A and B are shown apart, each in its own frame.
Chain A
Amino acid sequence: MTIPLSCYLILSGILFTCGVLGFLIKRNIITIFMSIELMLNGVNLSFVAFAAQWHALSGQIFVFFVMVVAAAEAAVGLAIIIAVYRTRETLNVDQVNLLKL
């Protein structure tokens, strides 16, 4: 009834890699933002797996803090996306290449 820790870590690594890949290859700014959430989820999985491994509950507390920071980041980031769309009328990151309007 046990699973090697490495399985969880490999799954977590796969999720993180998918996040990095999406961050690099996607063109839509919202999808890029979702890739960041995917990376955070991969990290959360390794946190919980290590917490189960070492019987340390504080690993789960860190998962809560990561979730809270992700929620705050999502709120602010989506507000920034709305502001960018309002000024530039595009969501394509290739066209958002100047800080100046």
Chain B
Amino acid sequence: MHLILFLFFGGICVAGAVNLLVQRHPINSALSLVVVMASLAGEYLLLGAEFVAAIQVIVYAGAIMVLFIFTIMLLNAGEEERSKGSRVAILLGIPGVAIGGVLVAWTLLRHSNTAWVPMFALPGDPRAIARLLFRDFLLPFEVTSVLILIAIMGAVVLASKPEAVAPPKAAEPTPREAPELVASGRER
């Protein structure tokens, strides 16, 4: 049962990830990324990390992806143009990726055969996580909150209109009032 659920969610996950690569329109990629995150939440549930699963759905699939989709719609992003890739990169890259993947998978399967992850292995309830987060990891937690604050300010500064960030030092005088000032400003 566990294996069937793992394969089900994992299949959806990989399908979404591949679909993200195949689709040419960014909104389709964003929606397939939502699918990937939702099925990853299912995997977390299988591992017994129910709080992480909830946060995954709320923060990742909810907040961050809404931000992405909002930006795509705000910028009216169309389909991406095709560009010429180099033939050598394709010829060497695809077999290289295949060989590398097979090597990694073979090594993992070979050397971690004895490790089995039991179902619902973790005490992943919010109480245990909160105890750890607010006692042992209190300093990183506070530093993270400062990071979030900086990110908010950076986002506001970067996304605001340039005039609002740096107002022009001296307003350009109208030519009627001071034509010589305008001329000197143009020269500079």
Contact = CB atoms under 8 A, between A and B. Distances in A.
A67 B158 contact: no
A72 B72 CA distance: 18
B41 to A, nearest CB: 10
A4 B117 contact: yes
A78 to B, nearest CB: 5
B68 A33 contact: yes
Nearest to A8: B117
Given A37-B33, A75-B151, A48 B17 contact: no
Contacts of B144: 65, 68-69
A9 interface: yes
Contact of A3 (B113, B117, B157): B117
Nearest to B64: A74
A90 to B, nearest CB: 10
Interface string A14-34: 110111011001111011011
Contact of A2 (B2, B21, B108, B148): B2
A71 B85 CA distance: 32
Interface string B63-105: 1100110011011010011110100000000000100010011
Contacts of A35: 20
B47 to A, nearest CB: 5
B40 interface: yes
B179 interface: no
Interface residues of B, number: 82
A52 B2 CA distance: 15
Nearest to A41: B40
B48 to A, nearest CB: 6
B48 A52 contact: yes
Given A69-B147, A79-B159, A94 B20 contact: no
A68 to B, nearest CB: 5
A71 B104 CA distance: 30
Given A9-B112, A48-B47, A71 B81 contact: no
Contacts of B81: 27, 92
A97 to B, nearest CB: 12
B171 interface: no
A82 B52 CA distance: 31
Given A5-B112, A11-B43, A94-B83, A31 B158 contact: no
B37 A41 contact: yes
A31 B80 contact: yes
